Amino acid sequence: MDNYEYNEMLKSLQIKMENIENIVKPEEIKKELKEIEKLEQNPDFWSDTEKAINYLRKKEDWREHIKNIKMQKMHLMMQQSIELE
């Protein structure tokens, strides 16, 4: 594989990763996670147990989304590296 083909594959990988981020918006998810963590620090967080549990579920869901994004990126990178061989 020559340098041009290698660069084109890297560009393709970058586009795929950007597409994933544009759809899922991991930065917005991270902001929301921080907001939930701030709420948890409030002494009144557990005064409404149902609401607190919903926040904790949402927090866990967001963490799972972030984990999935990272896994997708790794998978794409592995695919591209296999194609480069």
Instruction: Give the residue-averaged pLDDT of 22-36.
Output: 87
* Residue 28: C-alpha distances to residues 22, 25, 34, 39, 75 (Å): 11, 6, 10, 17, 22
Query: What is the reported pTM?
Result: 0.64
pLDDT for 46-76, tens place per residue? 999 999 999 999 999 999 988 887 887 777 7
Q: How far apart are CA 42 and CA 35, in angstroms?
A: 11
Inter-residue contact 55 to 36 (CB < 8 Å): yes
Which tokens belong to 40? 């948890």
